[in-house]
């Protein structure tokens, strides 16, 4: 099986991908040699990055802060939206406690956050 073995190979493959991106566009036929090479190299890079640069799932607190920013909410308005008291929201936001299953269901539904993130699974 062919794979990228080290950072030097990774950098060389990334350089080649940059070159290929200059000659391939949305109109390039699927059987074009450059597009096929680009697809293969992209798969190799994805495998290498998955192994060496994994991206961890965000925490509930991080997602809540982002969603509050996106929706223009304060902790008080978030508590009102979720039907919780401010102290409970504060405890969840500080990581001092986890939401109950009922609270997790409400958070997921009202803020459109994946249940797996809310439940930490």
Domain that holds residue 102: 60-119
Same domain, 115 and 73: yes
113 and 74 fall within a common domain: yes
Write out the two tokens for 7.
């950072």
Cα separation of the two ends of the chain: 32
Angstrom CA distances, 11 to 18, 33, 46, 90, stand at 11, 21, 13, 44
Residue-wise pLDDT for 30-53, tens only, equals: 999 999 999 999 999 999 999 999
Global model pTM greater than 0.85 = no
Q: Same domain for 67 and 109?
A: yes
User: Do 46 and 89 fall into the same domain?
Assistant: no
74: CATH: 1.10.260.40
| Count of domains observed in the chain | 2
The answer to the question of residue 28 being in a domain is yes
**Residues 81, 64 within the same domain:** yes
Q: Could you read off the pLDDT of 62-98 as tens digits, one per residue?
A: 999 999 999 999 999 999 999 999 999 999 999 899 9
As a whole number of angstroms, the distance between CA 72 and CA 120 comes to 24
């Amino acid at each position: 099986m062919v794979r990228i073995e080290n950072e030097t190979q990774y950098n060389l493959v990334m350089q080649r991908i940059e070159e290929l991106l200059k000659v391939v566009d949305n109109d390039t036929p699927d059987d074009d040699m450059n597009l096929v090479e680009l697809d293969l190299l992209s798969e190799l890079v994805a495998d290498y990055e998955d192994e060496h640069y994994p991206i961890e799932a965000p925490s509930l607190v991080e997602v809540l802060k982002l969603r509050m920013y996106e929706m223009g909410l304060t902790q008080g308005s978030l508590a009102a939206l979720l039907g919780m008291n401010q102290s409970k929201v504060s405890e969840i936001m500080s990581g001092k406690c986890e939401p109950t299953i009922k609270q997790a269901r409400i958070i997921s539904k009202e803020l459109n956050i994946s249940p797996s993130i809310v439940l930490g699974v």
